[in-house]
Structure 1
Amino acid sequence: MSDQRFTPLRERHEALGASFTDFGGWQMPVRYISDLAEHHAVRQAAGIFDISHMAEFTVRGAQAGEFLDYALAGRLSALAVGKAKYSLLLAETAGIIDDVIVYRLEDDDFLVISNAGNRDAVREALLARTSDYDVVITDVSDDYALIAVQGPQAETILAATAGIGDVSIPWSEQRYYAWATATYAGRPLLLARTGYTGEDGFELLVTAADAATLWDQILAAGSPLGLIPAGLAARDTLRLEAGMPLYGHELTLDTKPAQAGLGRVVVTAKEEFVGKDAVEPAADAPVLVGLVAEGKRAGRAGYSVVDEGGAVLGEITSGALSPTLGHPIAMAYVTPSSADEGAAVFLDVRGTRIPATVTALPFYRRTK
């Protein structure tokens, strides 16, 4: 279709034999070898992901920090230069327009990275909130590519990657949810120690023109250490094991932060922010829980969660047979009365009731 979009790494994916799928209007690699092989590589060594479909916005101006305090749910004005913070962009109803990561580049210069499918909604919401602030919002998404290297070998691989130079902070001193500057091919490269897999790793913001050669150099450095390309299927099972929400599944315009377990992201002490007056959910509003089951039949998004008598308690938002843990896991919104850890429920898997237990998130946590 003419409206399908491809990242600057399209030719690399095709050469590697990737299967593609539509994701947020982009044709993205869903797998290269196999979902399981790619998942296990990230847990045991490392995987390299193309995440160039994500959207990037610069927020610049004398009141950039104050503006983001108003526009987002967190207190971004307190973020130190060199650090990053997860936050939420709320509607007036306190429903979630998107979840974002904010990087403070300078005192008056921030970078906001949002989900690909929400690029237009995020841009429009940010621009609509600028009227009282000395700030300029610029959509720079098409200027950059974003490459993620995730797994226990990520730091070693990137430190050995040819062409990355002028690293502002030694690799071993770079902290989680922080960033460093570097260069690649003589042009600026942003190294963020962030990710969406539950493993250590980095996300590299590089100019679109340099993305393909950087991809090649990372693969060359990492292949001897077990690095392989990984697609969206592995990324989804990895983030599910790590209990990380996905927009359109756990997060929607009908979801308030506290329902999704993200009440901590909202700084209600702020004098004003969009959505503040509606941020508290109703007492009977469904809440997000983890579910574990035995056997091999996994509940999928849209399947019902029921009680012993078959009464519907809620609905699964994401589910899979966990490659790491070996049993079915799921996230679901259920009634508050059935959300206690250890509660027994059932998954309605195509007419068969599968016993499950409510559990705390995440399902998986790395040990180092």
Structure 2
Amino acid sequence: MTENYTALYEQHQKAGASFTDFGGWQMPLKYDSELAEHHAVRNSAGLFDLSHMGEVWVTGPDAAAFLDYALAGKLSAIAVGKAKYSLICQEDGGIIDDLISYRRPAGADGTDKYLVVPNAGNAKVVAAALAERAGSGKEGGFDVVVEDVSNATSLIAVQGPNAEAILLTLVPAEQHSLVTELKYYAAVEVEINGQELLLARTGYTGEDGFEIYIPNEDAAGLWEALLETGASRGLIPAGLACRDSLRLEAGMPLYGNELSREGNAYAAGLGPVVSLAKESDFVGKAALTAIKAAGVGTSTGQKLVGLKGLGRRAARGHYPVLKDGTLVGEVTSGQPSPTLGYPVAMAYVDVEHAEPGTVLDIDLRGKTEPFEVVALPFYKRQK
């Protein structure tokens, strides 16, 4: 696999990061202690390089109608300045990727403008699928421009209870209200460290936080400025290892673990993300309608559940889930929870064993350990 390096690679090297391949990118796994990084995000703040994520602009008179066709959600219903979590599906309902779309103010010509953010390993696939669907969704195609700017764009996230206070030190006083009044799943252009940038109140940790979109050439300067101003508020750089433990505690699915082309929204508990009621057709609508009608994830098939360890040993991805010795499912993600102090996991299990309170066994390499089905998320921050 080709190795890609973010614009912040040198900063990570200087900070002593351990690297790992993720979606073809060399990304910091941890800097010193992944446990310390996890607790920093929960108690103060962590700084993440997310520049491996994709950024695709969709603009034009048909942008809203096009995304209604290309994605499973009703993107035309998003208010300007807001964001929406959605799925891009295959014709058979399988999930190509989960993504966030931001509706931005219309361009000078009055046409709609959206920023679509796919996952790292899927960025090129999603951009290609959007481009293909733009030309095939209706006779003559949609009047849109699909522009993949992933290779020119960096994404930096500040996550944790001190995130807002840290951002305010780099934003002019007259724009402070834009930050403090910014709602979850919304975005705004503000001046950060002397440069106008797109700031989104989104994240993947279960904590309050922000994600900042910035040109590659300016990313290192912002990274250093954030670390310098955030140090007094407990900000430290954080890697993929703690990002995974944080998102697992928050019950957030990871593509390649909980989501895949072989799965579907209803089994994954993402039925509300799918808008079967929208008048227009969309890719995968017929299949997803049939899947929902069949009761997949409710009365038949398997369902994604949370599992709380009743012992001390943690489960890992692909470990078998058993009921009275019979295979009833498989773990998708699992590890000890640093915040809660016991093992947690997510798994697909047969729906008849998916009720909270059900005790199941997980085969931990030949030895079973009891886990209890619990409602997701495992952790929810105090607001």
What is the letter of the counterpart of residue 226 of structure 1? G
What is the letter of the counterpart of residue 278 of structure 1? A
2-side partners of 1:16 and 1:353: how far apart? 40
Which residue number in structure 1 is paired with residue 150 of structure 2? 141
Which residue number in structure 2 is paired with residue 342 of structure 1? 357
Match of 2:326 among 297, 300, 311: 311
The residue correspondences of 1:1-368 to structure 2 (distance < 5 A) are: 3-107=2-106, 108-131=112-135, 132-161=141-170, 167=175, 169-184=177-192, 187-271=195-279, 272-279=281-288, 280-281=290-291, 282=294, 283=296, 284-308=300-324, 310-368=325-383
Cα deviation for residue 165 of structure 1 reads 8.1
CA pair 359-155 structure 1, distance change in 2 beyond 3 A: same
SS in 2 for 1:12: helix
Answer whether contact 2:311 2:370 (CA < 8 A) is retained: no
Cα deviation for residue 201 of structure 1 reads 0.1
Give CA deviations for 1:274-328 in whole Å, capped at 9, x if unaligned: 10011143543211000001232100001000012x1101000000100000000
115-124 or 147-156: which moved more?
115-124
Pairs aligned (count): 365
Give CA deviations for 1:43-96 in whole Å, capped at 9, x if unaligned: 000000000000000000001000000000111111111111101001101100
CA pair 127-306 structure 1, distance change in 2 beyond 3 A: same
Cα deviation for residue 125 of structure 1 reads 1.1
SS in 2 for 1:300: coil
SS in 2 for 1:332: strand
2-side partners of 1:59 and 1:186: how far apart? 27
2-side partners of 1:165 and 1:54: how far apart? 30
Length-normalised TM-score, structure 1: 0.96
Unaligned runs of 5+ in 2: 107-111, 136-140
CA pair 164-144 structure 1, distance change in 2 beyond 3 A: farther
Give CA deviations for 1:94-129 in whole Å, capped at 9, x if unaligned: 100000100001241100001010012101211111
Unaligned runs of 5+ in 1: none
Instruction: Say what the alpha-carbon RMSD is for the aligned residues.
Output: 1.4
1-side partners of 2:129 and 2:194: how far apart? 35
2-side partners of 1:168 and 1:209: how far apart? 25
CA pair 11-77 structure 1, distance change in 2 beyond 3 A: same
Cα deviation for residue 33 of structure 1 reads 1.2
2-side partners of 1:165 and 1:10: how far apart? 32
Cα deviation for residue 164 of structure 1 reads 6.5
2-side partners of 1:128 and 1:10: how far apart? 33
Cα deviation for residue 167 of structure 1 reads 3.9
